Amino acid sequence: MRQLGRASQLLLAVAVCSLCAVLSSPTYSHPGAEHKLSHLNARIEQQPNSQSAYIQRAALYTRTGKYVLAEQDFATAKNLGDAYLASYELGAYYFKISDYPSAIRQFDSYLAHYPNHYPSLEYRAKAYEKVGEIEQAFKDFGVFLQQSPYTNPGHYLAVARIALSLPHQKDPLADAINILDDGLSKTGNSPQLQAFAIELELRRGFFSQAIARQESLREMTSASPQWHVEMADILVKSLQQDQALNHLKQGQHKLATYKNTPARQKLLLRIEKMQHAIEAAS
């Protein structure tokens, strides 16, 4: 093997040292986390009694999975001022490590001082759900949905699912659908919300409402092959086989104009299977 020249050996040594430095240093998957950590380290060095700096660094350690370091900073922060000021981020830490009872206690502490803190309400609702206290979860989510300006379809889906499992409900399906409709009125005509609402409408036998909901998505989805298949499925369940076959045929024709992909091939097989099932039942 040809020996490296002295200059090449020096370059190789530098490269190896650089690689070792990279591999031995902490890594942060969150964009900007390393820069923020450097900033917080410098701030703590300049202001060693800054409670907020320790809380922020503990929160950063939580997000990046450095849990031992997070615990150390939380302990320091609680000794530098009112302990409740660290309770929101500490609650988020406990939630991240799946200690939901401790998370609830921390969010209780923070909400006692800041009752309209929406992230704490949402976190506590999720923690209550994790420990099986669904009525408390439903209550917290209800307040969150009423007061927070930062809701999305996922929030309404979560609350609707909880509503279905609440005890002593006269009509849980209607309650869940009302929650989904509230979400639709506030977040727009979300396919995600409509899909679950359609499932519930079918479950209670309200076929015309399910069809109307699917129809409301026609323009949004450009009447895609998937939309036609989903409409056909609803029509089959409402015993309208001829209309179902018509939608399957339209979906099939549209698929023929698209480039073939595994997902589209799978959808085509589903169409053919549904067609055969309808024809066999006729």
Asked whether the beta carbons of 229 and 247 are under 8 A apart, the reply is yes
Type of residue at 168: H
Helix (H, G, I), strand (E, B) or coil at 98: coil
- Tens of pLDDT, residue by residue over 224-233, are 999 999 999 9
Which pLDDT score, from 0 to 100, does residue 200 have?
98
Does residue 208 carry a pLDDT above 60?
yes
The mean pLDDT value for 127-153 works out to 94
Mean pLDDT throughout 245-251?
97
- Give the model's pLDDT for residue 30: 57
On the question of pLDDT at 5 being above 60, the answer is no
Q: Taking the model in full, what pTM does it have?
A: 0.78
pLDDT at res. 3: 45
Section 177-197 average pLDDT: 96
Rg (CA), the chain: 28
Q: Given a cut of 70, is residue 25 above it in pLDDT?
A: no
Average model confidence (pLDDT) across the chain: 89
The DSSP annotation for 123-147 comes to HHHHHHHHTT-HHHHHHHHHHHHHH
DSSP calls for 45-84 = HH-TT-HHHHHHHHHHHHHTT-HHHHHHHHHHHHTSS-GG
- Span 52-67, mean pLDDT? 94
Is 270's pLDDT higher than 80? yes
Element (H, E) at 91: helix 87-96
How far apart (Å, rounded) are the C-alpha atoms in residues 247 and 275? 10
Amino acid at 174: A
The average pLDDT across 138-160 equals: 94
